[in-house]
Amino acid sequence: MGWAHRVRDHGGVLFLDLRDRYGITQVVFRPEKAAPPMLEKARSIGSEYVVLVEGQAKARPPGSENAELLTGAMEVEADSVAILNVSRTPPFPLDDEGKASEDLRLRYRYLDLRRESLKNSMIFRHEMTRSVREYLSEQGFLEIETPLLVKPTPEGARDYVVPSRLHPGKFYALPQSPQLYKQILMVAGFDRYFQIARCLRDEDLRADRQPEFTQIDLEMTFVVEDDVFEAVEGTLASIFRRTMGLPLPVPFPRITYDEAMGRFGSDKPDLRIPFEIRDLTDVLGESGFEIFRAAKAGAPKTATLVLPVPGLATASRREIDAFEAAAKQAGAGGLAWARVKGEGLDGGVAKHVTGAVLAKLLETTGAKDGFLLLIASGPRALAQRVLGLLRTQIGNANFTLDDKDFRFVWVHKFPLFEYLEERKAWGPAHHIFTMPLEEDLPYIESDPGRVRAQLYDLAANGSELASGSIRIHRKDIQESVMRTIGMTAEEANTKFGFLLEAFEYGAPPHGGIALGLDRLVILFHGGDSIRDAIAFPKTASATSLMDGAPALIDPADLKELKIRIDR
Ligand code: ASP
């Protein structure tokens, strides 16, 4: 039984490609064997009809085998055929070459999911979650569900809210993550928890985001970050073994946030790109170029950073102008550059960089004949960001990066706070439950900008795959962090009183992490966007084209909820 993938009438002999979840089988109706009414019925089978065939599975006649097909050596010679259901003509072809618009595919998602690539993505996802469950269970983790109707306590994004019928005027929120509950599970003594958890965030959707997405959510008691890293590395290694049959070299390299920004201009660096940023503040500060001299004078707040790109000296002026335009768009005043030609420089700032400065530049950057040097000079953080963007852009456009070469890297010791210009206030770099580094504890309120956190991300090939931290388990530290971001004691109590109270009953040290499952599927298995990892995703405007969510509800229901719509 299956779906009619294709019917081919070869003048008498009729072939039916019958498809189900497991693949395609060729059914053959031969006029010499099949009675005319049966042939006629077979001929009436249309695309995507549901069909029952009885017959004999046989080797195909020699020479007619199809090596492309898993079942290409055999076929079923039909004895009888029944049509179990008919189908309208699908609005797009269900093969992987079919170039239907994504909106159309989302509208008829059940047809889209019949396509080989999407079906395989769902199967891959299942294998992944299965190995996560098995591995973590073996390691002593317990899978515990946390509620979907929770107290509104925004974690950074906007909450989706659900009105309460029994308590008119009050609302539940849908969880942005199980964060508070998993921490409370640690207080409750479940020292190793995990959950394949749905998270809901009402954000304006950026390119590759979904309003609901899935995390592999972990939390552990009495741990340091190494223990969390090991749990994640083990989980990913088990996924690699099961889904790809590949060993995964662990442990992954670790770099601090400062090092990541310094070398790659990004907190999710792509280690496949074969060049990195070099700090030449001192060296170029000795050149005759005023901007470089000023950067040296203002160091370390200002810097002159160089991105030495091998082979790109061939770039035309137009290409270099485009790099400069990208730098300016990222906020830079400009972009200096030079080509390396033989032992010297050519073009751009070449005339300012000579003699000992030139020799030192070539030595420090390792640049040789044929390199293009892109140079950003000014506020250090800005220069890092600008060259980080160019590194990613050029790395992807001009170098061959193998998307099966997974280069994992832990980035840790992030700042605890970031300064929010628009609010003129400090905000948490990740979330407010993150423990500062022991040595930075004294500065939480006196100098928030210098406080680093026990906060870590896992990145691979330019994507952030996971984020987590060792948590604050002491009420006094938690309150100090809340004060720093401008939360009054009253507000802290209203929003997080239950957590703070739990901390008063013997909260153990704990920490955890969450991995974005949808993104892992795309990284490991392939796909155009995380929508390809989700059976029923939403569009960029958070609608479901198949069922029409969100939708109006019955006025009677609104009345019961005591809600009036203000248009
Ligand atoms: N709850 C965090 C998040 O969703 C992850 C974590 O810190 O475990 O980003």
Check pocket membership of 179 for ligand 1, CB cut-off 6 A: yes
Tally DSSP H helices, then E strands, for the chain: 16, 22
> 270 CA to middle of ligand 1, Å?
22
Token pair of 25 as six digits: 């089988």
Check pocket membership of 308 for ligand 1, CB cut-off 6 A: no
Give the model's pLDDT for residue 95. Answer: 81
Which atom of ligand 1 is nearest the CA belonging to 178?
A: 1
CB 280 within 8 Å of CB 305: yes
> 513 CA to middle of ligand 1, Å?
6
480 exposed, middle or buried (CB, 10 Å; 0-12, 13-18, 19+)? middle
Residue-wise pLDDT tens digits, 488-535? 989 889 888 999 999 999 999 999 999 999 999 999 999 889 999 999
Determine which residue's CA is closest to atom 4 belonging to ligand 1: 177
Residue-wise pLDDT tens digits, 384-393? 999 999 999 9
Q: Among 146, 159, 179, 416, which residue has the most ligand 1 atoms within 8 Å of its CB, making it the best to mutate?
A: 179
Helices 116-138, 225-239: inter-axial angle, 10-degree rounding: 130
Residue type, 544: S
Separation CA 93–CA 292 (nearest Å): 59
Q: Which residue has the tokens 């899935």?
A: 214
The sign of the CA dihedral 79, 84, 87, 93 is negative
Q: Among 193, 216, 430, which residue has the most ligand 1 atoms within 8 Å of its CB, making it the best to mutate?
A: 430
CB 416 within 8 Å of CB 434: yes
Token pair of 35 as six digits: 């009675």
CA atoms within 13 A on the CB side of 320: 21
Give the model's pLDDT for residue 98. Answer: 65
Residue-wise pLDDT tens digits, 24-73? 999 999 988 878 899 999 999 999 999 999 999 999 999 999 998 889 99
DSSP state of 312: G
Q: How many CB atoms lie within 10 A of CB 7?
A: 20
Q: Which residues contact 49 (CB under 8 A, 6 or more apart)?
A: 3, 4, 83, 85, 86, 87
Token pair of 143 as six digits: 């899978």
Check pocket membership of 177 for ligand 1, CB cut-off 6 A: yes
Determine which residue's CA is closest to atom 9 belonging to ligand 1: 467
Which atom of ligand 1 is nearest the CA belonging to 513?
A: 8
For the chain, state the CA radius of gyration.
Answer: 30
Residue 454, pLDDT > 90, answer: yes
Task: Give the angle subtended at the CA of 412 by the CAs of 225 and 377, to the nearest 5°.
Answer: 170
Check pocket membership of 467 for ligand 1, CB cut-off 6 A: yes
Helices (H), 316-401: 317-329, 355-365, 380-398
Residue from 210, 151, 150, 157 nearest 427 by CA = 157
Check pocket membership of 514 for ligand 1, CB cut-off 6 A: yes
Q: In what order do the strands lie in the sheet with 302-309?
A: 278-279, 302-309, 372-379, 336-341, 344-346
Strand ranges for 441-509 from DSSP E: 455-460, 463-470
Q: How many CB atoms lie within 10 A of CB 137?
A: 13
Check pocket membership of 513 for ligand 1, CB cut-off 6 A: yes
Strands 408-412 and 417-420: unpaired
Separation CA 224–CA 220 (nearest Å): 9
Residue from 415, 414, 410 nearest 464 by CA = 410
> 206 CA to middle of ligand 1, Å?
19
Give the model's pLDDT for residue 154. Answer: 65
Residue 11, pLDDT > 90, answer: no
Residue from 424, 443, 436 nearest 485 by CA = 424
Residue from 482, 467, 472, 476 nearest 508 by CA = 472
Q: Among 431, 465, 510, which residue has the most ligand 1 atoms within 8 Å of its CB, making it the best to mutate?
A: 431
Peptide bond between residue 428 and the one before it cis (omega within 30 degrees of 0):
no
Residue-wise pLDDT tens digits, 102-133? 999 999 999 999 999 999 999 999 999 999 99
Strand partners, 18: 4, 25
Determine which residue's CA is closest to atom 7 belonging to ligand 1: 468
Separation CA 320–CA 306 (nearest Å): 15
Check pocket membership of 436 for ligand 1, CB cut-off 6 A: no
DSSP state of 446: T
Q: What mean pLDDT is predicted for residues 197-220?
A: 91
Q: What is the 3-state secondary structure (H, E, C) of 6-75?
A: EEEEECCEEEEEEEECCEEEEEEECCCCCCHHHHHHHHCCCCCCEEEEEEEEEECCCCCCCCCCCCCCEE
Check pocket membership of 146 for ligand 1, CB cut-off 6 A: no
Check pocket membership of 304 for ligand 1, CB cut-off 6 A: no
Check pocket membership of 468 for ligand 1, CB cut-off 6 A: yes
Give the model's pLDDT for residue 412. Answer: 98
Residue from 235, 377, 398, 222 nearest 309 by CA = 398
Give the model's pLDDT for residue 34. Answer: 79
Residue-wise pLDDT tens digits, 359-373? 999 999 999 999 999
CB 482 within 8 Å of CB 432: yes
Q: Which residue has the tokens 């790395």?
A: 395
Check pocket membership of 183 for ligand 1, CB cut-off 6 A: no
CB 71 within 8 Å of CB 103: no
